[in-house]
Structure 1
Amino acid sequence: MAINEQTLLNSGFTQKDVLKLNRYQRNNQLTLDSVISDLSKRFQSALLLTSGLVLVYIITLFIASRENIISMGIALIVALAITWFFQPPILAWKSWQFHKKQR
């Protein structure tokens, strides 16, 4: 699929978002298609990891002691912060939506 800037702007991306995508594209010598696909996959991975961590925490609530629940909660917050810090969440979400519509 051939993605251009106008298609992205019509799909909900802002001009600032498009500039970020173009900068990433130039720095890594990729096509706009591959940048959108990469961000979409990153969003899916982060969402899957978040779901898994929350599921582990819910299980911990039922089987662990109070001290373990608190420490696990803190570890969960740190892990989620790291996960979402290393990707642009809004841009990745928009890319995921765009990629899902284009399939």
Structure 2
Amino acid sequence: MIEFEKELIESGFTTRELSYLKKNIDRYGSSLQRVVMELSNRFRVVMGITLVATVVFIALIAFAARHNIISGGVSLVIVSLIAWFFQPPVITYKAWRFQTQRISS
């Protein structure tokens, strides 16, 4: 096991998650460091989408008519679900946490 993999396991990744990442690396090519960085970036993007959806919903509550609040809320929930569906949320969170810990150290 390489040093980077040991760091990932110490930061909370499981061996099952690492084997999942390695399978994808073998299939599509890349490096483990690059994959962790990309997953971290995906987490930031999805959190940004979720934040924007929340702000829009708060604006709907403050300024829109009741029927627009309901339809807008349902639409924003669907957008958030789609954004979260297209990436593995637990692994991306762990990658983001790992990256932020490395930067702060």
TM-score, with normalisation over the residues of structure 2? 0.92
Q: For 1:95 and 1:101, how far apart are their aligned partners in 2?
A: 10
Deviation, structure 1 residue 3: 5.8
Q: Which residue of 2 aligns with 1:75?
A: 75
Q: Which residue of 2 aligns with 1:102?
A: 102
Is the CA contact 1:3–1:33 (under 8 Å) kept in the aligned structure 2?
A: no
Structure 2, unmatched stretches of 5+, are none
| Runs of 4+ more than 6 Å apart | none
Is the CA contact 1:42–1:92 (under 8 Å) kept in the aligned structure 2?
A: yes
Q: Which residue of 2 aligns with 1:84?
A: 84
- Once the two structures are aligned, what percentage of the paired residues are identical? 33
TM-score, with normalisation over the residues of structure 1? 0.93
Aligned residues: 102
Q: For 2:3 and 2:90, how far apart are their aligned partners in 1?
A: 19
Q: For 2:101 and 2:74, how far apart are their aligned partners in 1?
A: 37
Structure 1, unmatched stretches of 5+, are none
Deviation, structure 1 residue 73: 0.7
Establish whether residue 48 from structure 1 lines up as the match of residue 51 from structure 2.
no
Establish whether residue 93 from structure 1 lines up as the match of residue 93 from structure 2.
yes
